[in-house]
Structure 1
Amino acid sequence: MYEYFNRVYFLILFLLFFVSDTAAMNRQQLKNSGKLLKKTCMPKHDVTEEQVGKIDQGNFLEEKNVMCYVACIYSVGGAVKNNKIVHEAMIKQVDMMFPAEMKDPVKAAMEKCKGVAKKYKDICEACFYTAKCLYETDPANFMFLVMGRKDWLFLMVVVVSVHGIHALTRQQLKKSSQVFKKKCMAKIDVTEDMIGDIDKGKFIEDKNVMCYIACVYQMAQVIKNNKLSYEATMKQVDLMYPAEMKDAVKKSIENCKDVSKKYKDLCEASYWTAKCIYEDDPKNFVFA
């Protein structure tokens, strides 16, 4: 469950970047983006708004369920790995998401507090006292509910906090995928000429192009155990596609769900599945 919400949360963060045309969120957007985590962790740990609603103002109640709520936020956000806080993951998120004026002081606080967790065997206590240390080190720049890790999944209930809408438009959908495109072009030796018009039906039968498509699917987290996941793909459509596109896109995915079974190679399976989806319904096909 943590892994699922971690992925949802992270893509929300990245979509927020691209929909709002900014390289980093402002303080209010950071706060808003954490509400999904809060709604996930409050019922799980039976805490009230009175108990956890003012953590970012320094109200740290030393109660076990509050401590585990803090641990839940860090776990869902991806700052906890193998039952330990990962300092490096927290630093990376500051670099990627925080406003320029907050980055240095927040990272300085993290550096100062990185040894706190080692004093506690219990992950709830480790997370609670780490968060408390961060607040006490720099109250002015302390932000709770905004941790995460790199690489994402599913998608959006949608630019929920910043834009107050419930699905991306087609243009926002396309724009949000550019982070995948940028990373996969750097990873796979392809040019814009080779992959720039995939969403217009230009599928060059080249191994690198095939592996580029597989890379995009992997980054979107629709590949599980080295295979395309029909269920994960459907969930993405439900979570982020505009209402007028959902049924059509899901129908194409349904029509093409068995294509990948013909190929042992993941690059080929991804390529021919994407091509099938395009050919089934060019009008509603969107790709990075």
Structure 2
Amino acid sequence: MKNIFLLLCLLYIYENVLAIMTEKQIEATKKLIRNTCINKQGVAPEKVDGMYKGEFDFSDKNSMCYMHCVLKTYKLIKKDNTFDWEEGINVMQTIAPPNIATPVIESIKNCKNAVKTDNKCTAALEIAKCLYDDDPEHYILP
């Protein structure tokens, strides 16, 4: 009886804690992070929308710091302002369905050396631009 109870507990934990997110859940999470970082950094929503079209404005500090907020929230930028690409791969393998994870992991690998500056906000935008340029169709940042 104890073994059955333990097995049921483990199945519950697996299903409810370790389960892959649905696309709807991923979109809801992106929207929450987007809204939080837009408000925190005071960036115009149009600037953020432009990033989905490949418009990365390195002259706009608010846009750059918005992306730093996003990457920091996802824990994808280290304290030394480098891309934590290993964590990015780990997160994608853990929470994303394969149709999302596979192409994004490829972009993450291709962008692991994207950072060319010490400035945290500029570094974040360099990472985002690299991810977009590598595969615009599968650009996943909010």
- So what's the TM-score if we normalise by structure 2? 0.78
After superposition, where does 1:65-214 map in structure 2 within 5 Å? 160-161=15-16, 166-169=20-23, 171-205=24-58, 206-214=60-68
Does the 8 Å CA contact 1:167/1:240 hold for their aligned counterparts?
yes
CA–CA separation in structure 2 for the residues paired with 1:219 and 1:183: 10
Residue 276 (structure 1) aligns with: 130
Matched, 1:216 2:43: no
Q: For the aligned residues, what is the CA RMSD?
A: 2.7
Task: Give the CA deviation at 1:181.
Answer: 1.4
Structure 2 gap ranges (5+) = none
Does the 8 Å CA contact 2:43/2:63 hold for their aligned counterparts?
yes
Matched, 1:245 2:100: yes
Task: Give the CA deviation at 1:283.
Answer: 1.0
CA–CA separation in structure 2 for the residues paired with 1:166 and 1:180: 19
What are the superposed Cα offsets for residues 228-276 of structure 1, whole Å, 9 maximum, x if unpaired? 211111111111222122221111111111011x111111111011111
What are the superposed Cα offsets for residues 47-75 of structure 1, whole Å, 9 maximum, x if unpaired? xx69xx9xxxxxxxxxxxxxxxxxxxxxx
What are the superposed Cα offsets for residues 171-207 of structure 1, whole Å, 9 maximum, x if unpaired? 4322211221122112112111111242332322311
CA–CA separation in structure 1 for the residues paired with 2:87 and 2:41: 24
Does the 8 Å CA contact 2:38/2:44 hold for their aligned counterparts?
yes
Does the 8 Å CA contact 1:210/1:270 hold for their aligned counterparts?
yes
Does the 8 Å CA contact 1:221/1:232 hold for their aligned counterparts?
yes
Residue 62 (structure 1) aligns with: none
What are the superposed Cα offsets for residues 3-53 of structure 1, whole Å, 9 maximum, x if unpaired? xxxxxxxxxxxxxxxxxxxxxxxxxxxxxxxxxxxxxxxxxxxxxx69xx9
Decide whether aligned partners of structure 1 residues 281 and 204 sit closer, same or farther in structure 2, where only a CA change above 3 A counts.
Answer: same
Structure 1 gap ranges (5+) = 1-48, 54-156
CA–CA separation in structure 2 for the residues paired with 1:224 and 1:189: 23
Q: Which has the higher contact order (CA 8 A, sep 6+)?
A: 2
CA–CA separation in structure 1 for the residues paired with 2:16 and 2:94: 15
Decide whether aligned partners of structure 1 residues 199 and 236 sit closer, same or farther in structure 2, where only a CA change above 3 A counts.
Answer: farther
CA–CA separation in structure 2 for the residues paired with 1:225 and 1:241: 25
Task: Give the CA deviation at 1:285.
Answer: 0.9
Task: Give the CA deviation at 1:167.
Answer: 3.5
SS in structure 2 of the partner of residue 200 of structure 1: coil
- Aligned residue pairs total 131
CA–CA separation in structure 2 for the residues paired with 1:242 and 1:198: 24
CA–CA separation in structure 2 for the residues paired with 1:187 and 1:211: 9
CA–CA separation in structure 1 for the residues paired with 2:22 and 2:53: 20
- So what's the TM-score if we normalise by structure 1? 0.41
Q: Which one-letter code corresponds to 2:95 in the other structure?
A: M
Residue 120 (structure 2) aligns with: 266
Decide whether aligned partners of structure 1 residues 173 and 200 sit closer, same or farther in structure 2, where only a CA change above 3 A counts.
Answer: farther
